[in-house]
Amino acid sequence: MRCFSGNRVVLAVAFPFIAACIGGAAQAHVTLAAGETKPGSYYRGALKIPHGCDGEATRSIRVQIPEGVIGVKPMPKPGWTLTTQKGPYAKAYESHGKPVAEGVREITWSGGDLADEFYDEFVFTAFVTADVPAGQQIYFPTVQVCTKGEARWTEIPAKGQSARDLKSPAPSLRLVSDTRLTAQEAPAGSETDTYTIGNLTIAAPWSRATPGGAKIAGGYLKITNNGTAPDRLVNAATSAAGKVEIHEMSMANGVMQMRPLNEGLLIKPGETVELKPGGFHMMFMDLTRPFKQGEAVKTTLQFEKAGKVDVMFNIGAIGATSRGQSDHKHH
């Protein structure tokens, strides 16, 4: 059963796929939660451990880091001892303008006790260098040691062979040319309009149709920071508006007012910030054309650390108060 390859990295649709994998496969494999990323990007790897070894509890997880993946930082896990093995890379990579020739090649979480009937994830962050080209699949061979015995998720498909034909495939990560954020691919108004850039996930951008002559429109979306460092939404731009500001609402003398966030909108690690009517929002100003219901407005968001990403704002009805009301064209 094909669980991840070919599917976009979209949290909103990941869960049905996971359910399908567990429900459909006699034996669920150890896999990476996000199966795709693009060359030259930060990646959050979460190794999913669906079961033990033939009913035995998992006591340690050891994963090998493939060439081209640098700057690995594993996440400590309560109840488990975290160790890393460092070594030289096959070549020196450039990171922040400096050559980096060695780093973490293997991570081990040991001394834990994960019963066969439970599920857990083992997390690391890394930078996938641009040396790994789009279209390539890279593998993270993983050994799961149990109270009795072990399971070796270390098989790598040979040329022309599919990972589906392997009994114990190594968790893999597919490099894609673009983080699937291109608007053309995101069906308007669907729950799949989720975008990833670096450690950030951006979900469901929407706005409202503008009544005749109106020059401003609000912009709403959710941003989740899956990384370990804070980031900020610092800027946005679109051909549909003269400028885009990031606003917050606040009470002043009993009156609700909005004001631009000059330092940008902070998204703390592990947090989701929702831009919604009455709260934080984006403000499209000096519109160059009216926003029409059912359309999508391409906008470039700029984050301090994660960089730029293009997203599509689905335009809902005039006066819509939530994104749910932006789906009219499907009814």
Residues lying near Cu ion in the complex (CB under 5 A): 247, 258, 283
How far apart (Å, rounded) are the C-alpha atoms in residues 107 and 81?
11
Residue 299: CB minimum distance to Cu ion, A: 15
Nearer to Cu ion, 258 or 261 (CB): 258
Cβ-based neighbour number of residue 149 at 10 Å: 12
DSSP secondary structure string, 180-239?
Answer: S--GGGS-TTSTT-EEEETTEEEEEEEEEPPPTT---EEEEEEEEE-SSS-EEEEEEE-T
Q: Which is nearer to Cu ion, 106 or 248 (CB)?
A: 248
Q: How many CB atoms lie within 10 A of CB 275?
A: 21
Task: Answer whether 281's CB lies under 8 Å from 275's CB.
Answer: yes
Q: Provide the minimum distance between the beta carbon of 90 and Cu ion in the complex, in angstroms, as a whole number.
A: 51
Query: Which CB atom, from 195 or from 280, has the smaller least distance to Cu ion?
Result: 280
| Minimum separation from the CB atom of position 274 to Cu ion (A) | 15
Question: Toward Cu ion, which CB reaches closer, 174 or 247?
Answer: 247
Instruction: Select the residue whose beta carbon is closest to Cu ion and give its number.
Output: 247
- CB nearer to Cu ion: give 90 or 256: 256
In whole angstroms, the minimum distance from the beta carbon of 94 to Cu ion comes to 41
Residue the block writes with tokens 């930082």: 73
**C-beta closer to Cu ion: residue 166 or 273:** 273
Q: How far apart are the C-alpha atoms of 208 and 52, rounded to whole Å?
A: 49
CB of 245 to Cu ion, least distance (A): 7
What is the smallest separation between the CB atom of 205 and Cu ion, expressed in angstroms? 16
- The whole-angstrom separation of Cα 319 and Cα 208 is 7
Neighbours of 310 (CB within 10 A): 16
